[in-house]
Amino acid sequence: MDKNVRIAIIGGGPAGLSAGMYLEQAGYENYTIYERNGWVGGKCHSPEYKGRRYELGAIMGVPSYYAVHDVEEFCGITHDGPRLNRNYKDLKGNVVDPFDPKKHPLSAPRLLRMKSQIKKFGELLQTKYKGYDINGHRGVAQGRYDGYAVTPGREKIEGVNENLKDLALPFKDFCEKNGVELVQDVWIGPFTSFGYGYFDEIPAAYVLKYLDFQTTMNFVKVNLWTWKDGTQSIWEHLNDAIKHPALLNSDITKVERKDGKVFITVNGKVEEFDKLIVTAPLQYFGDYADIREDEKRYFDKIDYERYDVQGFLTEDDKAPEISYYIMENMVPERLGHLMVYYHRWPDLGADQMYVTYALRKHRDLKEIDYEESKKMVLADLETMGNPAKEVIEERSWYYFPHVFTEDYAAGWYDDVEAMQDKYDTFYAGEIMSFGDMDETVEYSRELVERFFK
Ligand SMILES: Cc1cc2nc3c(=O)[nH]c(=O)nc-3n(C[C@H](O)[C@H](O)[C@H](O)COP(=O)(O)OP(=O)(O)OC[C@H]3O[C@@H](n4cnc5c(N)ncnc54)[C@H](O)[C@@H]3O)c2cc1C
């Protein structure tokens, strides 16, 4: 492609900003990033309270976040945040350890079986499901893999593997099919409580592309990255480091694609481009763009999670000393309840903001109303012995866009990938890979590599 091509990027989150970075590195400097908010970072959102930054959105990374590491290197920053640690509570608020057989003599045989299934699962993923973990979903429904391995060198690999079609199954069915149903006890922590839905509804492909074997083991060992000034600061640094920082407060009211050009009406003025990269939710693309029949047909199939967070303060003698997970609330029957509450600064007592996490949607159940879930979460905090005296931040996120098994298996991803550049438009961001920082950034890297040579 001509290096002077004029490229518009919609969205100043990890996907959009990193697309700018990778384009620049590939010699394409004629790009413009439009961000609707007055700040960058999207769902990496780290507001300040009493001089420290807290996480209302993304919290952590793992050592296999190679694409986020690209960004850190580009900006000259590193993951310098507080060490994460956690404990578990049961529904009565007692501290428990679901993975310690000494504390749960009755569950010891189950834990032993779980351990051996994890080992078997690791082997299956490397052999039967070779190629399962590469970024994005191209070819999976057809039993192929084509992309970059999750290794420091990110080697390009491609091949045929019919077994990959199983990845369209809900993760629960996928585990049962392979005789490793107990691994769900481990995978559920960084999946359901992180807002990504339930294993009986979400295709295994999403679960395993995010929680590939090495990433899951990093979660198990609490081998995690955080950032002192919050995950948002990664993207603020990136925005400062790229040649064309995002244009904030951009209100896009129209996108028109005709005669090989892209016309964008932003804050009332029409701007002309040659190519468009959309990292904003595709589900809403038709609200402002001349969406085509095929785009609409596919984008209408996207669903997303309702993931709510509340930043709360508590009394000195009621402050949690660590983050807590409540495993029994990570099932559809407990929709709307508190799954995790996060304690960020070990050196501060109650003089900090804690954050709660709840999910209130399952594909087969009635969605729980935001306020109703909030009440449930606050009541749960009381039961846990850490009541909120005041909620000072709250947010309901448009979270983890995805498609379900039937559309995944029917080739949604191959069809949408085949539409890349059809209307001088490229699709990136969470839906094209997965809703975490690294998958979205890695997808932007590969998009640039594939189409902007
Ligand atoms: C509570 C929570 C916890 C999370 N925890 C983690 C974690 O620990 N680790 C991890 O890796 N990830 C985590 N994530 C997920 C991670 O934040 C996202 O996957 C990542 O930010 C996605 O990047 P993106 O650029 O694709 O989308 P987003 O971050 O959503 O950014 C999209 C941007 O586009 C902008 N936009 C939308 N529409 C328009 C428009 N019409 N015009 C202009 N701009 C527009 C938005 O304002 C936004 O800035 C978490 C997210 C949340 C909410």
Q: What DSSP string describes 9-28?
A: EE--SHHHHHHHHHHHHTT-
Burial class (CB in 10 A: 0-12, 13-18, 19+), 268: exposed
How many angstroms does the Cα of residue 437 sit away from the middle of ligand 1? 8
Structure confidence at residue 104 (pLDDT):
67
Phi, psi of 446, rounded to the nearest 5 degrees = -70, -35
Asked whether 437 lines ligand 1 (CB < 6 A), one says yes
Structure confidence at residue 105 (pLDDT):
60
| Count, residues in the chain | 453
- How many C-beta atoms surround the C-beta of residue 92 within 10 A? 10
Counting atoms of ligand 1 from 1, which one is nearest the CA of 428? Answer: 26
Domain locations along the chain: 7-78+227-302+404-451, 103-220, 303-401
Question: Hey, whose CA ends up nearest to atom 10 of ligand 1?
Answer: 436
Question: Hey, whose CA ends up nearest to atom 6 of ligand 1?
Answer: 58
How many angstroms does the Cα of residue 317 sit away from the middle of ligand 1? 35
> Best of 43, 46, 288 to mutate for ligand 1, by most ligand atoms within 8 A of CB?
43
β-pair type (156-160, 354-359): unpaired
How many angstroms does the Cα of residue 101 sit away from the middle of ligand 1? 38
How many angstroms does the Cα of residue 265 sit away from the middle of ligand 1? 23
Burial class (CB in 10 A: 0-12, 13-18, 19+), 207: buried
Question: Hey, whose CA ends up nearest to atom 18 of ligand 1?
Answer: 436
How many angstroms does the Cα of residue 114 sit away from the middle of ligand 1? 34
Protein fold of 7-78+227-302+404-451: FAD/NAD(P)-binding domain (3.50.50)
Structure confidence at residue 152 (pLDDT):
80
The secondary structure of 245-278 as a DSSP string is: --BSS--EEEEEEETTEEEEEETTEEEEESEEEE
Structure confidence at residue 441 (pLDDT):
98
- How many C-beta atoms surround the C-beta of residue 406 within 10 A? 11
Asked whether 252 lines ligand 1 (CB < 6 A), one says yes
How many angstroms does the Cα of residue 447 sit away from the middle of ligand 1? 18
User: pLDDT tens digits for the chain (453 residues)?
Assistant: 899 999 999 999 999 999 999 999 999 999 999 999 999 999 999 999 999 999 999 999 999 999 999 999 999 999 999 999 899 999 999 999 887 777 666 678 888 899 999 999 999 999 999 999 999 999 999 999 999 988 888 899 999 999 999 999 999 999 999 999 999 999 999 999 999 999 999 999 999 999 999 999 999 999 999 999 999 999 999 999 999 999 999 999 999 999 999 999 999 999 999 999 999 999 999 999 999 999 999 999 999 999 999 999 999 999 999 999 999 999 999 999 999 999 999 999 899 999 999 999 999 999 999 999 999 999 999 999 999 999 999 999 999 999 999 999 999 999 999 999 999 999 999 999 999 999 999 999 999 999 998
Calpha distance 391→453 (Å, rounded): 49
Bridge partners of residue 265, in order along the sequence: 254, 270
Asked whether 308 lines ligand 1 (CB < 6 A), one says no
Counting atoms of ligand 1 from 1, which one is nearest the CA of 15? Answer: 25
Query: How many Å separate Cα 274 from the centre of its chain?
Result: 30
Structure confidence at residue 108 (pLDDT):
82
> Domain 103-220 maps to which CATH number in 1.10.1240.10, 3.50.50.60, 3.40.50.300, 1.10.405.20?
1.10.405.20
Asked whether 31 lines ligand 1 (CB < 6 A), one says no
Asked whether 44 lines ligand 1 (CB < 6 A), one says yes
Structure confidence at residue 176 (pLDDT):
98
How many angstroms does the Cα of residue 404 sit away from the middle of ligand 1? 21
Structure confidence at residue 101 (pLDDT):
72
Asked whether 60 lines ligand 1 (CB < 6 A), one says yes
Asked whether 436 lines ligand 1 (CB < 6 A), one says yes
User: Domain 303-401 is in which class?
Assistant: alpha beta
How many angstroms does the Cα of residue 113 sit away from the middle of ligand 1? 37
Calpha distance 267→34 (Å, rounded): 11
How many angstroms does the Cα of residue 117 sit away from the middle of ligand 1? 34
pTM as predicted: 0.97
Written as six digits, the tokens of 16 are 């959009």
How many angstroms does the Cα of residue 44 sit away from the middle of ligand 1? 6
Asked whether 59 lines ligand 1 (CB < 6 A), one says yes
> Best of 44, 79, 191, 395 to mutate for ligand 1, by most ligand atoms within 8 A of CB?
44
